[in-house]
Chains A and B, each alone.
Chain A
Amino acid sequence: MRETFRTHMGWLHSWVGFLGGLVLTAIFATGTLAVFDKEITQWMQPEVVLKANSVTATPVALHHAAETMQAEQQQGRFAFITLPSWRDPVIRVLHYDGHEFIGPVLDPIDGHLFPARQTAGGQFFFDFHFALRSGPVLGCTIVTILGICLLVAIGSGIAIQIKAMWPDLIVFRPFGARPRAWLDAHLITGVLFLPFLIMITYTGTAIRARGILPPHPLLVARHSEQTAQKADDRPKGGRKAAAQQTDLLPPPLAPLIAEAKERLQTDKCELILFSKTEIRIFRSDEASLFLSRDMVSFSRADGHYLGTHIQNGAAAKTTQLIHGLHYARFSTRLLLWLYFVSGFACTVLMASGLVLFLIKRRKNAGNRIMFRLAEGLTLATFIGLPISIMGLFWANRLLPVNMPERLSAETDVFFALWALSCLHGVLFSILKKPLIGWQLQITALAIMAMGVPALDICSQTHSWLHDATRYYVLDILVFLLGLSALFSLTILKRRSV
């Protein structure tokens, strides 16, 4: 058997791409949705009324926010405040529940609490994207390793296709023979979005690189430092002691925010953290491409200025740039849409790669059980994931607003649907009826996706006249997904005849 450079790289690309791609497709899909995490959260909390002009919080609203934060801290939660921004013009008092940042939402004008339903919102996709909902250690490590796998797959893909890059860029035959159409889709998205794919994969992996690179002395030192700080910050003696120590309301926040803006030389501050002794006000992530954690500290007791922390220098700027490019929080709306479209194209790239892998091996290995399993899993990734996302939206509108443990019920619906899709796919594949499996799941996707706007209209949980853009956009996008599923179904049925 003659072994050439291209056969080596082809083998590496196929196997690393397929095995990693099964999870990476889901990571990219959820990452793409996480670009609009705030907007999805707003769609999922229709009780929150957004006023586009209210991007600055009034002193009254800040006072109410401080009270709410204090009440949260007295319950033993590490609560903090996010200030209104152009994408999310409300005040949020958030805490980390192990997966998402959730908490009460306040009006930035008068500070009243919105009776918002408990939901994971867009944060769910963010958490799944970077930790597969398996926590910051295991989940992040798996995602980072997969990031390296993707970089290897990209490199090997470039190596085998470098000579034909220009033809790949302009040739797309969607109505050609089946392998040809899938290969064209794979190549055109791969070549066209290659710079974005490399940038987003590299920055994402570099951000979490500490998870896979071996421990070193600094890590130990830092860990012990953080543990000591946490122990210092968290009151001893449990919740009772916590309540005693956070009894004092922090000083008025409005003057502190104004001073922080002046010291940081910015017009936007977004995040306010409260430790036992300090109030830390951070520069907004939207302020610049460099995602810094520049902040000003004030005393929690009387609000006097304690210090400013600004990181400059080439090394710090490099890290900030990597974070900024990946999180894209500096973006204008147009740039956010570009991230979204590029992320979607990369998801299509990976999904088409999975299908290509199966098509190429069907003739020789089609009867093997591993092939059948791979086919079922591909179906669950390709169609099952969008079905379960639609299920999450359905659950958000159908579950009672005041239901206890509502958040986990929503996410349970998501995972139950995904598991069901996986079982269904594997079963039909083992029964040697994969085409029927695909048709059934695509039908389910079309019905569920086209049902979301109808459900949104029927539930009438929000005013369609007041700031309804977020509803229109999501509903239209989901409807288009349903239409494209319907179109794919007709093509699939025509081919099966």
Chain B
Amino acid sequence: MVKPASPGTQPASVSARTKKAEKRKTVYRRIGWLACACVLAYVAAHFAVITSLQWGGEENRIAVNVGEVIATALLPLLILVAYGARTYKWGLWLALVCCGIGAVVCRGLL
């Protein structure tokens, strides 16, 4: 006679399977979040370089070099903030706001 499982407990294999699925889901979610953070950070860095083009004046090339220097610092920093701050749910929002500001500045609306 098969003994019924007591309420609130599950067989070990089912529990392990659920745990594994949950872990996999967590990893997929992390990858997705990281991908979003990378894209947004990249777009923001791109806008930083484009903005330096507009402020370069006659010596445009040198200004762009400086823009690249700033963008290089911005890119990993934004990735870290956008991904790391997901615990507090505002990471991607911040990156999105940075992109928005960059887009607006680039279009010369400010």
Contact = CB atoms under 8 A, between A and B. Distances in A.
B26 interface: yes
A316 B34 CA distance: 35
Interface in A202-217: 202, 205-206, 209-210, 213-214, 216-217
A11 interface: yes
B5 to A, nearest CB: 24
Interface string B70-110: 01110111011001101100000000000000000000000
A319 B69 contact: yes
Given A217-B53, A311-B62, 4 more contacts: A1-B23, A148-B76, A156-B80, A202-B73
A34 to B, nearest CB: 21
A8 B23 CA distance: 13
Contacts of B66: 315, 318-319
Given A1-B23, A213-B49, A319-B65, A205 B72 contact: yes
Contacts of A12: 34, 80, 83-84
A90 B34 CA distance: 51
A142 to B, nearest CB: 16
Contacts of B71: 209, 213
A351 B23 CA distance: 28
Interface residues of A, number: 32
Classify the interface of chain A: helix, strand, loop or mixed: helix
A318 B84 contact: no
A8 B86 contact: yes
A316 B53 CA distance: 15
B80 A315 contact: no
A5 B59 CA distance: 43
Contact of A155 (B59, B80, B86): B80
Given A205-B72, A213-B71, A216-B53, A8 B64 contact: no
A209 B70 CA distance: 10
A12 B80 CA distance: 9
A404 B110 CA distance: 63
